[in-house]
Amino acid sequence: MIKIAPDKKKHFWLGMLMGAILQILTLYLFPQHYIISIIITFVLIVALTYGFELFSLITKRGHYEILDAVAGTIGGSIGMVIILLIEYVHNSH
């Protein structure tokens, strides 16, 4: 069994929430452009998760760890997929 650090779990869950919220926002802003919505959301997730880690490194506030950004990006991607699946099921009926 792989042991995952508690802070990575926190980054994962917050990333999932961020990905879901950003996907909802971009689907609202670009209702007929799913691919653009997906690309924008993913770029924002990566930029925000890695940007926060870079901010921690530069300002010395918090603890810089690249795996935190990876966990946030994975969570954000899953959050995106959940919203896209809900949108797909909603529109297929």
Question: CA torsion 10→73→35→31, rounded to 10°?
Answer: 30
Has residue 77 been placed in a domain? yes
Q: Is residue 66 part of a domain?
A: yes
Q: Token pair for residue 75?
A: 């969570």
In tens digits, what is the pLDDT along the chain, a chain of 93 residues?
A: 777 777 889 999 999 999 999 999 999 999 889 999 999 999 999 999 999 999 988 998 888 889 999 999 999 999 999 999 999 998 887
Tell me what pLDDT residue 89 has.
Answer: 92
Identify whether 65 is part of a domain: yes
The domain in which residue 31 lies consists of 6-91
**15 within a domain of the structure (yes/no):** yes
Q: Given this model, what pLDDT does residue 63 score?
A: 83
Whether residue 82 lies inside any domain: the answer is: yes
Q: What secondary structure letter does DSSP report for 62?
A: S
Contact 15, 50 (CB under 8 A): no
As for how many domains the chain has, the answer is: 1
Judge whether 1 lies within some domain. no
